[in-house]
């Protein structure tokens, strides 16, 4: 007699390794989230971080009847870079500095005894929004050919998805537009803003939350938090309204330059600043004056998946 076995509930497992939390997400065969668990990130402790990830992976696979050898996707801050003398792939550019210089993918593969796919958090965000979020909603029959996913938060990052796959790039920096300079001349902006990366006037120094504060301070001589600026703008304060209008112009110009290079099918905006509707409303009409085309109809929309996008995107890495 043939034994009937229940199919596994879980199909794809992803882990979002963030600075404050680690979240594991399991997608079922339909691509829907069927399991998730979130725990705090151990601070400045690499080995403990690996152990916490291993426990989450083990729980997820057990609870959803996945094979223990099933691959795992990991979304991280930063990216892998190859050490040319040792040929080892090591983490770089992580704000969680305990990861920098560590062979994270290799260590996890050894610990978990399965294949590990790794991408940075902006790439995971872009992939999640393409396949589970706005891309799925706006292109229900066929995923959009190319998507530019943007994070406007305490920093500014981005990721590119082409035909449902993350574009890594030859140096693993595809989509990292946040450290391109903003064309300040084009917007009549005076002064220089130093960026932590060593350059000046990076897009991040304008479009991040802290960047909005700097814009206000440079114009009016005193600092307000992004929340205070938004509140004042909503109360009709003329200074705050003008700074928010400037922000929209800066965002529109920065995005239009991406459009002129890769002309994506969809642009999805995530991160804290994207949740303020006034900053992104009618952004496509503002972008039109900067895009090198008489026709511009690309959807530019706020993200749908919230802060679970990282884990969902990491899970899609394994499919
Ligand atoms: Zn920079």
105: CA distance to ligand 1 center in Å? Answer: 26
Write phi, then psi, for 290 (nearest 5 degrees).
-105, -15
CATH topology match: 12-120+308-316 vs 134-303: yes
| H or E, element range at 20 | none
Write phi, then psi, for 67 (nearest 5 degrees).
-65, 145
Would you say 147 and 252 are in contact if contact means Cβ atoms under 8 Å apart? no
pLDDT of residue 199: 94
194: CA distance to ligand 1 center in Å? Answer: 8
Q: CA separation (Å) from 196 to 172, 178, 219, 239?
A: 20, 12, 21, 27
Low-confidence ranges of the chain (pLDDT < 50): 1-4
Q: What is the CATH number of domain 12-120+308-316?
A: 3.30.420.40
Q: Where do the structural domains in the chain lie, given as residue ranges?
A: 12-120+308-316, 134-303
195: CA distance to ligand 1 center in Å? Answer: 5
178: CA distance to ligand 1 center in Å? Answer: 7
Q: What is the CATH number of domain 134-303?
A: 3.30.420.40
272: CA distance to ligand 1 center in Å? Answer: 19
pLDDT of residue 186: 81
66: CA distance to ligand 1 center in Å? Answer: 42
278: CA distance to ligand 1 center in Å? Answer: 26
Per-residue pLDDT tens over the stretch 110-132: 999 999 999 999 999 999 999 99
pLDDT of residue 83: 83
| H or E, element range at 251 | helix 238-262
Q: Retrieve residue 88's tokens.
A: 């080892």
316: CA distance to ligand 1 center in Å? Answer: 29
176: CA distance to ligand 1 center in Å? Answer: 10
């Amino acid at each position: 007699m043939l034994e009937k076995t229940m199919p596994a509930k879980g199909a794809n497992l992803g882990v979002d390794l963030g600075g404050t939390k680690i979240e594991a997400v399991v997608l079922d065969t339909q691509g829907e989230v069927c399991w998730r668990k979130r725990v705090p990130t151990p601070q400045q402790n690499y080995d403990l971080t690996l152990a916490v990830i291993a426990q989450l992976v083990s729980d997820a696979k057990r609870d959803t009847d996945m094979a223990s050898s099933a691959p795992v996707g990991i979304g991280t801050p930063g990216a892998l870079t190859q050490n040319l003398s040792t040929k080892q792939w090591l983490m770089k550019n992580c704000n969680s500095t305990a990861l920098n210089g560590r062979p994270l993918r290799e260590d996890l593969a050894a610990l978990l005894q399965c294949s590990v796919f790794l991408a940075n958090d902006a790439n995971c965000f872009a992939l999640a929004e393409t396949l589970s979020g706005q891309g799925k909603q706006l292109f229900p029959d066929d995923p959009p050919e190319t998507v530019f996913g943007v994070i406007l938060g305490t920093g500014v990052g981005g990721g590119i998805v082409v035909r449902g796959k993350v574009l890594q790039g030859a140096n693993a920096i595809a989509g990292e537009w946040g450290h391109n300079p903003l064309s300040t001349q084009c917007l009549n902006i005076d002064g220089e803003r130093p960026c932590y990366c060593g350059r000046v006037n990076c897009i991040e120094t304008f479009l991040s939350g802290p960047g909005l504060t700097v814009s206000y301070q440079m114009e009016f001589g005193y600092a307000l938090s992004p929340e205070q600026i938004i509140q004042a703008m909503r109360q009709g304060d003329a200074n705050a309204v003008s700074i928010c209008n400037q922000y929209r112009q800066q965002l529109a110009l920065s995005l239009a330059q991406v459009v002129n290079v890769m002309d994506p099918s969809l642009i999805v905006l995530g991160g804290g600043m994207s949740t303020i509707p006034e900053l992104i409303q009618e952004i496509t009409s503002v972008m039109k004056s900067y895009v090198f085309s008489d026709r511009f109809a690309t959807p530019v929309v706020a993200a749908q998946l919230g802060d679970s996008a990282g884990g969902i995107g990491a899970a899609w890495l394994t499919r």
